[in-house]
Homo-oligomer: A and B are copies of this chain.
Amino acid sequence: MEQIQKLFATQSNHAFDFSVFSNRLEQKDYDKNAIILKSGQVEDYLYFVEKGMLRFYIEKGEKEITFDFAFEGNFTSGYSSFLTRKPAPYFIQALVATSIWRISYTDLQEVYKGNEQGQMIGRLAAEQLFIRKTARELSFLSQSAEERYLHLLHEQPQYIQQIPLKYLASYIGITPQALSRIRQRIN
């Protein structure tokens, strides 16, 4: 909880009654491999990852495609579903035992209404998510698979080694075999 409060304190230049928001936060723990959101469900929460990490994936025929991760200190959500109130086409899963804080859609609307500064929460989340997606788009257009892997290693060194290679490969856009060979080449 202090993590979130600290984040707001650094972002906000106005006094902000944090309790309006925090009173509606709910803490949840998930076991390793637990499914947090099932494909076909409407996402009802915005999450803040306190500890652990999450994986986002879609099922495409036989195989899973991992397209996102969320680490400690990130805001995350099945965000397009959360915003549009339509079923999400993907799954969210805990990669390790994970603790999150979450706020429901309706509660977040209340925070928006009740407090001038409340919008900041939504804005912070939206900005973080959008900027990440844009950076990732450019990585596909301008970098090789090896560069994407090295960038990922550099950006999130403490978490990457805990993630199974097959998920990383999928996230980078290559097969597990290809990533295995990249690893052997750079070591």
A residues whose Cβ falls under 8 Å from a Cβ of B = 58, 60, 65, 67-68, 79-80, 83-84, 112, 119, 123, 126-127, 129-131, 133-134, 136-138, 140-142, 170-171, 173
Q: Is the CB of B140 within 8 A of A80?
A: no
A-B complex: 9 closest residue pairs judged by Cβ atoms: A133-B133, A140-B140, A80-B131, A83-B127, A65-B141, A126-B126, A141-B173, A65-B142, A60-B142
Residues of B within 8 A of A80 (CB): 127, 130-131, 134
CA distance A161 to B133 in the complex (A): 27
A134 to chain B, nearest CB (A): 6
Q: Which B residue's beta carbon lies closest to that of A136?
A: B137
Residues of B within 8 A of A83 (CB): 123, 126-127, 130-131
| A123, A136, A142, A173 — most chain B CB neighbours (10 Å) | A142
CA distance A170 to B131 in the complex (A): 20
Residues of B within 8 A of A60 (CB): 142
CA distance A72 to B94 in the complex (A): 40
CA distance A140 to B112 in the complex (A): 35
A57 to chain B, nearest CB (A): 10
7 pairs, A vs B, C-beta closer than 8 Å: A60-B142, A65-B142, A68-B137, A80-B127, A112-B119, A126-B130, A141-B173
CA distance A129 to B129 in the complex (A): 11
Q: Is the CB of B130 within 8 A of A79?
A: yes
Q: Is the CB of A131 within 8 A of B84?
A: yes
